[in-house]
Amino acid sequence: MPIRVLSEEVASQIAAGEVVERPSSVVKELVENSIDAGASDIRVETRAGGKQFIRVTDDGCGVPAAEVELAFHRHSTSKLTTADDLARITTLGFRGEALASIAAVSRVTLVTRAADEPVGTLLRLEGGQMVTRQESGRPPGTAVTVEDLFFNVPARRKFLRSERTERRHIDAWLTRYAMAYPRLRFTLSHDGRAVFQSPGNDRLRDVLVTVHGLEVGAAVLEIIPDVQHLTSSVDHPASDIQVTGFVSPPSLHRANRGYITLFVNGRWVSDTRLTYAVTQAYHTLLPTKRYPLAVVMVHLPPEDVDVNVHPAKAEVRFRDGDAVFRAVQKAVRRTLLERSPVPVATRPPTAWPVSPARWREEQEERLTRLRLQPAGEQLRFEERPPGVTAPSGGILVPSAERLPPLRVVGQLGATYIVAEGPEGMYLIDQHAAHERVLFEQLLAERERAGVTSQALLEPQPVELTSETASLLEEHLEALGSLGFQMEPFGGTTMLVRALPAITVETAPRRVLEDVAAALEAGDVPLAGTVEEAVARQVCKRAAIKAGQVMTQAEMEELVRMLEQCASPRTCPHGRPTMIHLSVEQLAREFGRGNG
């Protein structure tokens, strides 16, 4: 085929595809426009998961009658003029693409009135072509209605998922913006049914209550405000970076990272590095394979962040990414140390009423008890004395790495095993190591034995969020084979008849929420619950305690078994089983540099 310039129609559909991937992208762009317009009340209505109908109504500044048509032209925006402005974006939109893209692939009706104009305008477009324009009465503000999304792009329409999946994506975007802008009131309804409303009282904690429920809303810790300085250079004066938001205490955790929500200057971002900064701050505080819930807002001067990376604007680049990483990690860690109800480390008593080893063991048992409490249960905690810092994570290595063969050198204080390997010296906590070994053995036994289901005395209706209910409905059959017996019971309620035996001690609602979270992340449901149950068993069985003298043969046996473990470097409760000093570190400590 000869080279040809694409028709205007095809070119605009290709461009639209980058911005409008699915109904939730439309919701996201329209809500961003409402926020940029200074609205305080934003209402979203959808039908058929947004495939048929989406309407976003706001009480913002409106579009002046003279500009309504211009708003639908590609690259037309009121938010920036010069290339210089691009380096200092303070609005959510700036590319001038959203309305043009949405209009190209749907039937759009805009009704808007600028605050200082007496009458509003109605404009209707189909596949990007204007079909109607007339005057229209409405209060100041804007309503955009998008119907029959992708009516003219059958290829795209085919790839849309089920209505409930599309609804879930819309729910996710709306709750994100409700968290990012607690000052604004967001309302969402699907098919005429109200599903979400944020209070709009400028309190993020209250938004979290509406999104995650009362228990979570009450338990989360407010990040201690902290300002970090960004580096300065010749063409960049020093500037500040601020981290705010809420994080879960270590006693509250989830089966995947999906509950870590990040915003940069009011924009939701997907950033694996910053997500890692958050999880890293919980290092050794959470059981393995469990993740915190966090809403973290990073504020920094707009010229220090590049938001113009992708048409959907979900990725950003920082001028000084390391500084942002450190600021997030530090703020979260400090909040956990100072505000966490779980004592992270406790000062040993000055006079020893018990042996140091016994004391340490008691602390460990207490921590274990606290960590394994189901989230939200009322506990009384001891205050952590001021000035005590948690062990630094610097010399610990990722827990999932297998161990090299180790040679046992000897025992230290009847508590630690000293060993050496090709990579240097290992100081192994004998009790924690034994717990890890037992844990993996018991887990394997359980897997071989298979699942058992236990019927409830009476079928129990459990009310869930629409997101959770729809996920479970999609996987009813697969869950059956795991020991779940339940059926949809109208609305977002499930009637539960039987549950896997392992979950009977947990509230059915929490079980179902965890299962939904695992499904969403593509994990095996209940893997976390099984691990917690096994971890409890391990505590009862662990034979080797601190303070127990071990023979060389016993130590070698324990180290051999640890080498077989899949995650040898943490105990089942997430604490380290060992400290590793590499050959390089040892050389550095002794001043044996390169010279």
SS3 assignment for 305-351? EECCCCCCCCCCEECCHHHHHHHHHHHHHHHHHHHCCCCCCCCCCCC
Beta carbon nearer to ligand ADP, 82 or 378 = 82
In whole angstroms, the minimum distance from the beta carbon of 182 to ligand ADP comes to: 20
Q: Compute CA distances 89 → 70, 265, 278, 321, 583, whole Å.
A: 21, 10, 26, 18, 48
Q: Considering the complex, what minimum distance in angstroms separates the CB of residue 167 from ligand ADP?
A: 22
For 55, 139, 383, 467, the CA distances from 61, given in Å and listed in that order, are 17, 11, 50, 33
Residue 294, burial from CB neighbour count under 10 angstroms (0-12, 13-18, 19+): buried
CA–CA distance, 200 with 181 (Å, rounded to integer): 8
> Looking at 92-100, 241-249, 440-448, 492-500, which segment touches Mg ion (CB under 5 A)?
92-100
CA distances from residue 299 to 162, 189, 418, 434 in whole angstroms, order as listed: 37, 31, 46, 45
| 77 binding ligand ADP? (CB under 6 A) | yes
Nearer to ligand ADP, 93 or 250 (CB): 93
Q: Name the packing angle between helices 430-449 and 552-564 (round to 10°).
A: 50
Among 319, 316, 318, 250, residue whose Cα is nearest residue 279: 250
Range in contact with ligand ADP (rule: CB under 6 A) among 3-11, 91-99, 397-405, 407-415: 91-99
180 binds ligand ADP (CB under 6 A): no
Measured in whole angstroms, how far is the alpha carbon of residue 418 from the centre of its chain?
A: 39
The binder of 518, among ligand ADP, Mg ion, none, by C-beta within 5 to 8 A per type, is: none
Is 81 or 378 the residue whose CB approaches ligand ADP more closely? Answer: 81
Minimum distance from CB of 59 to ligand ADP (Å)? 10
Per CB under 6 A, does 123 bind ligand ADP? Answer: no
Distance CA 224, CA 55 (A): 38
Tell me if 96 contacts ligand ADP by CB under 6 A: yes
Q: How far is the CB of 506 from Mg ion (least distance, A)?
A: 44
Binding segment for ligand ADP among 93-101, 129-137, 291-299, 584-592 (CB under 6 A)?
A: 93-101
What's the Cα-to-Cα distance from 414 to each of 437, 551, 558, 568, rounded to whole Å? Answer: 19, 10, 14, 21
Q: What is the DSSP string of 102-161?
A: HHHTSEEEEEEE-TTSSSEEEEEEETTEEEEEEEE---SEEEEEEESTTTT-HHHHHT--
How far, in Å, CA of 219 to CA of 211, rounded? 14
- 37 touches ligand ADP by CB under 6 A: yes
Nearest residue to 500 via CA among 453, 570, 540: 453
Minimum distance from residue 133 beta carbon to ligand ADP (Å): 16
Total residues belonging to the chain: 595
Q: Is 538 in the site for ligand ADP (CB under 6 A)?
A: no
Residues forming a β-bridge with 581: 425
Candidates 44, 71, 98, 438: give the one binding Mg ion (CB under 5 A). 98
Q: Which stretch binds ligand ADP (CB under 6 A): 10-18, 87-95, 158-166, 268-276?
A: 87-95
Measured at CB, which residue is nearest to ligand ADP?
93
| Residue 140 CA: distances (Å) to CA of 113, 114, 121, 136, 545 | 5, 6, 11, 11, 71
Give me the residue label for tokens 């201690």. 224
Determine, following the binding rule CB under 6 A, whether residue 550 of this chain makes contact with ligand ADP: no
* Binding-site member from 13, 33, 470, 529 for ligand ADP (CB under 6 A): 33
Q: Which listed residue (93, 128, 245, 574) binds ligand ADP by CB under 6 A?
A: 93
**Closest distance of CB 95 from Mg ion, Å:** 7
Residue among 264, 275, 352, 356 at smallest CA distance from 314: 264
Q: How far is the CB of 91 from ligand ADP (least distance, A)?
A: 7
CB of 121 to ligand ADP, least distance (A): 12
Task: Select 142 or 465, whichever has its Cβ closest to ligand ADP.
Answer: 142
Q: Does 78 bind ligand ADP (CB under 6 A)?
A: yes
| Amino acid residing at 157 | R
**By CB under 6 A, is residue 71 in contact with ligand ADP?**
yes
Question: Binding string, 138-167, against ligand ADP, x = CB under 6 A?
Answer: ----x-------------------------
Decide: is 411 part of the binding site for ligand ADP (CB under 6 A).
Answer: no
**Is residue 93 involved in binding Mg ion (CB under 5 A)?**
yes
- Candidates 94-102, 218-226, 236-244, 332-340; binding stretch for ligand ADP (CB under 6 A): 94-102
Q: Does 98 bind ligand ADP (CB under 6 A)?
A: yes
d(CA 374, CA 380): 14
Residue number closest to Mg ion, CB atom:
93
Identity of the residue, 93 or 249, whose beta carbon is nearer to ligand ADP in the bound complex: 93
346 and 225 in contact (C-beta within 8 Å)?
no
CA nearest to 187, candidates 313, 46, 21? 46
Residues in the site for ligand ADP, rule: CB under 6 A?
A: 29, 33-34, 37, 58, 60-63, 71, 77-79, 93-100, 142
Where does this chain bind Mg ion (CB under 5 A)? 33, 93, 98
